[in-house]
Amino acid sequence: MEIHKLVDKAFKRDLSDPSALNDAFDTLRLLEPENFSLAHEKNKEVRRLSAKYAAERTDMKMFELNKRALLFDAPYDFDAAIRYAEWDREPKKKFYMPRRKQLLPVVQAMQRLSERKIRILGVMAPPGVGKTTIELMFMVMEGLKNPDLSILMGSHSNSFLRGAYEEVGRMLDPKGEYLWKDIFPAVQVVKTNAQDMRIDLGKRKRFETFEFSSIGSGNAGKVRASNLLVADDLVPDIE
């Protein structure tokens, strides 16, 4: 039977049954090499239904299927990636889901930036809404996707960048509470430099995957932004 027909047949079953929905998800894994876009588009339905029934019934099978469906999309979808990466965190510690309704437009814009549908993205919002944390998560995902390219983060404040460097390190810790290691299992941290605030993924190279450098610190020839340039508060105080 052709894969497309198998998928159609699977999705016509009663998908409120955990076994039927699980079978439908498995057909998407078969479909992905043949039709990537359709497989991931239909997976949104699996994610929606599994989340719905997991909540309504406290159904652990649906709960686990929702996790697997998120992981299926996570390497390519920023929204799914953040949700999966924070899966094991305690509910009161989770950053994204309590703020998802407000931050989703930003996340969707970052997705377009990742796909290079846009080249420049400016985010303006009141202090404390999570702009910096969401951009650090975006940096982590883009670094893991393209470890051989460099991401440069700049700010007027060296102490601010020190905090950003440490937070990225925590997100990448394979023994930590984030699950980025599940999404990109083949990519690991190979070098850290706390003094210069550098983190390198994959193979070692001159310009590390993540670089943090403040304005006026003499950056010529020292850093590169071959993947992303992230600017956060370049000008101090009210200026």
- The larger pLDDT score, comparing residue 206 to residue 218, is at 206
Cβ neighbors of 30 (< 8 A, separation 6 or more) are: 3, 6, 7
Q: pLDDT tens across 89-106, in order?
A: 999 999 999 999 999 999
pTM: 0.91
Q: pLDDT tens across 159-186, in order?
A: 899 999 999 999 999 999 999 999 999 9
Residue 180: C-alpha distances to residues 6, 71, 75, 125 (Å): 32, 10, 9, 27
Read off φ and ψ for residue 225, nearest 5 degrees: -130, 60
Q: Which tokens is 43 given? A: 């997976």
Burial of 168 (C-beta count, 10 Å sphere; 0-12/13-18/19+): buried
In 97-218, beta strands by DSSP E: 151-155, 189-193, 198-201, 210-214
Number of alpha carbons in the 13 Å side-chain half-sphere of residue 167? 18
N residues, the chain: 239
Task: With a cut of 90, say whether residue 214 has pLDDT above it.
Answer: no
Q: pLDDT tens across 127-137, in order?
A: 888 999 999 99
Q: pLDDT tens across 17-53, in order?
A: 999 999 999 999 999 999 999 999 999 999 999 999 9
